[in-house]
A and B are shown apart, each in its own frame.
Chain A
Amino acid sequence: MKKSKFPYIVLTPMLLLLAIFVILPIIGSFVIGFFDYNPLRTSDTNVFIGFDNFLSLFQDELFLKSLSNTLYFVGVVVSVNLVFTLTISWALCSLRSNKWRSLFRVNFFMPCVAPLAAVALVWSRSLFASRGGMNDLIGFFGIAPVNWIGSASTLMPSIIILSLWADVGYNIVLFIAGMQGIPEDYYEAAEIDGANPIARFFRITLPLLGRTLTFVISMTLISQFQAFAQFSIIASNGGTGRAGYVLSTYIYDVGFKNKDMGYASAVAVALFLLIMVVTLLQRRLSRVDWGY
């Protein structure tokens, strides 16, 4: 370890940038939330109004709707994502052939590199169209056509489907890497003892995946709470019946379309606290101390 001025010379500009572009905005959100702030007005009418913005949140039906939509979206997307990616990774790991495994991994990961804005357009205009791919697919199983993004009850499930398609690849790659790190002897020992594949998954794979699992869950939670592009494109102004309003798009609409930036900041603070609480809770619940 060395001692010199070098660290301070290197870090000072970087810390300044972080303070300006990360810390200042987060403080700003809290501060602006206490003002009746509209950028189009002259500055003396943008007055301090205390907790008014925060209190009105509880009476704002659209906010409450966005809040419940967000929880619905995150809850379903994250849990389906985890079950699906764990199953797929586990199946791929049990393949002895590296070739097939890497082929499928590339296959599932490919959508992750596409811009969500483009993904949202392709799905909403081609696949969810009345004569689009999804109706063809369910028609194959004898199900009548669905008005996917056009009806309030199926709007959110539609966005969930495309978000899953666009995102599961990341977790599959991470889980496969995690599973491949588990020593082979454990499985062999279990197999000799007569443990079936399901038991091996729940008794060996899942517990020993500990750190990867915690990491993946918290990353997925945080990123899905912030989902924006697909909602902004498919459910502009909340979409049919406002069923597609989530907190991130609600903040944008209130702040930039209605120019009510004070109130939008209050909504942003609510989203911030929500994400913090959920991540802390998740950390607490899934504290792991297994090692191998």
Chain B
Amino acid sequence: MTLSQRRKISHFIIIVVMLGIGILFMMPYVWMIMNSFKASVEIMKGVSLLPQKFIWDNYVTVATGAPILTWFNNSVIVSVLTTLIVLFTSSLAGYVFAKFDFRGKNMIFWFILATMMVPSQTTMIPSFLLIETIGLYNNLAALVVPSMVGGFGIYLCRQFIEDIPSSLCEAACIDGARNLYIYWRIIVPLIMPAISALAIFTFLAKWNDYLGPLLYLNDTDKMTMPLALRFFSSQRKSDVGAIMAASAMVMLPVTIVFLAFQKQFIKGIAITGMK
């Protein structure tokens, strides 16, 4: 056997094995979607994966029995708002750390990096008390305000802005441009890869956040999707079909967005690992 023949065979074997694992990886989605079109009684019997009697009732149950649009709106508001603010603060702070000299710069930067290391699960009690004290309990702002500034975003932006030649900013400065003008017209357009990676990360983290809403929200019409889903499922414990339909309605929007922008997603994740 020649080298290239051997290569072809191993190539083929790898693809077959990967296809097998890949199909297994898709099975939870298949189960969720198939079960969402079955009556709960049929799911319990577990006769076949394909619905024996195909029904839309589960989706009707979710759409009419729960304020799903309100929950969706809450999720959109919290995620979009947080993402926009984080993009602004991170890029602006990143610009300052990359292109300015000031006293205490290194110390402040290390402080910001250190805040990244604090595991949020270990501070849930004081965080809750803090939110209650400042009067944000049961308010969607409680999910936005604490995460307006993040060490990760600042670090990522600084890494990218450092690669921009300082002469570019200096030239603009000589022309009389103000700092904010330079930031907006020169820096931001040049670090778009970092900005989009950060946008994806922040948005996903907020969209999928479960602990935050669990700690800070109380009313059902304030909930964001993940917590609302838990609430819905505890209301209809035995109605597996409806729970699957609700899960599908929570999972599919992000999945569709991901599939539409998968190149940017993958690139964004890869970027954060390299820098």
Contacts and interface: CB of A to CB of B under 8 A. Distances in A.
B14 interface: yes
Q: Is the interface of B mostly helix, strand, loop or mixed?
A: helix
Contacts of A232: 210, 214, 230
A91 interface: yes
A110 B261 CA distance: 12
Interface in A101-138: 102, 104-111, 113-119, 121-123, 125-127, 129-133, 136-137
A265 interface: yes
Interface string B195-210: 0000000001001101
B15 A118 contact: no
A115 B201 CA distance: 13
B96 interface: yes
Contacts of B214: 232, 252
A3 B102 contact: yes
Interface residues of A, number: 95
B9 to A, nearest CB: 13
A1 B101 contact: yes
Contact of A11 (B93, B129, B146): B93
B240 A125 contact: yes
Contact of B274 (A105, A181, A252): A181
B273 interface: yes
Interface residues of B, number: 91
A90 to B, nearest CB: 10
Given A2-B101, A232-B214, 7 more contacts: A10-B96, A21-B147, A165-B25, A174-B273, A216-B273, A248-B121, A252-B214
A24 B93 contact: no
A228 interface: yes
Contacts of B274: 177-178, 181, 212
Interface string B68-100: 000000000000000000000100110010011
A264 interface: yes
Report which residue of A11, A39, A105, A119 has the largest number of chain B beta carbons within 10 angstroms of its beta carbon.
A11
